[in-house]
Amino acid sequence: MIDLFSPDNIAKAILVVCQFIILLTFHEWGHAKSANMLGDPTAKDLGRMSFNPAVHIDPIGTLILPLAGSLYGGGFFGWAKPVPVNPYNLKKPRRDLMLIAAAGPIMNILLTIVIFIIIKMLYMFDLKPYPSKTLFGIHTFLETSAFYSVILAMFNMIPLFPLDGFSVVNGLLPESASRQFEKLAPYGMPILMLIIFLPYFIGIDSPLFIIVEISRDIVDIIAKTLAVR
């Protein structure tokens, strides 16, 4: 039986949370940067257009829940502080809100590409198969970070409020359909909680495993395209 509070387990959990914080920081920066580019400086003025993780951390969503989930060795979900957007500053609010929402997941995919470029550079310097435990640890950290980054992007593209996918789908719909779709917003979080927790309580596979499999495929495609694998 695994000792949940053994030094090794705690260290692994802290490492996972650190990866999560880094990936969320890039994700939220993508939202803030795109909002500023589209005419809304709200996030920038509040200091949220930053790569400083501290400005994006939500104590419960970014620290407590991910740490608890990691300690127990299962999957977890979490969140950062939402990036504030004032739609009145946007020229075309529905379109621009879609672009701002999409910027977070896109940033995570771009980050995955950058991570694999770094891994390829390590290969080019003949550091494979990693002559030391430190280099092997760096490689493992990079590869798992790339995978988690894609999972974060794919999870956020679920079309349920408050996830990014909701605004993306809403922006793609015709205006009349968009008005009807927006009525589903209050039910987004309850539906998401059911999707996350109900399979565990009734003993069935979570539909979120589909996201994990899709993420693996995307990671493989990126790695093979860059000739890393």
**Which of 33, 59, 91 is where one domain is finished?**
91
Q: Are residues 127 and 228 in the same domain?
A: yes
Q: Are residues 206 and 116 in the same domain?
A: yes
Structural domain boundaries, residue 46: 1-91
pLDDT band at 14 (very low <50, low <70, confident <90, very high): very high
| pLDDT over 90, % of the chain | 73
**Which of 91, 109, 129 is where one domain is finished?**
91
pLDDT of residue 129: 55
Q: What are phi and psi of 6, to 5 degrees?
A: -70, 155
Q: Are residues 71 and 107 in the same domain?
A: no
**Which of 55, 74, 91 is where one domain is finished?**
91
In this structure, which amino acid lies at residue 52? N
pLDDT of residue 128: 60
Answer yes or no: is pLDDT of 89 > 90: yes
In this structure, how many other beta carbons lie within 10 angstroms of the beta carbon of residue 196?
A: 15
Q: Are residues 80 and 120 in the same domain?
A: no
Answer yes or no: is pLDDT of 127 > 90: no
Q: Are residues 5 and 52 in the same domain?
A: yes
Alpha-carbon distance 52 to 28, whole Å? 11
Q: pLDDT tens digits, residue range 202-215?
A: 988 888 999 999 99
Q: Are residues 124 and 180 in the same domain?
A: yes
Q: Are residues 206 and 126 in the same domain?
A: yes
Q: pLDDT tens digits, residue range 22-51?
A: 999 999 999 999 999 999 999 999 999 999
Q: Are residues 86 and 108 in the same domain?
A: no
For the chain, what is the mean pLDDT?
92
Residues 98, 101, 105: CA angle, nearest 5 degrees = 125
pLDDT of residue 77: 79
Q: Are residues 195 and 227 in the same domain?
A: yes
The pLDDT of 210-225, averaged and rounded, is 96
Q: Are residues 193 and 142 in the same domain?
A: yes
| Total structural domains within the chain | 2
Q: Are residues 105 and 18 in the same domain?
A: no
Q: Are residues 105 and 205 in the same domain?
A: yes
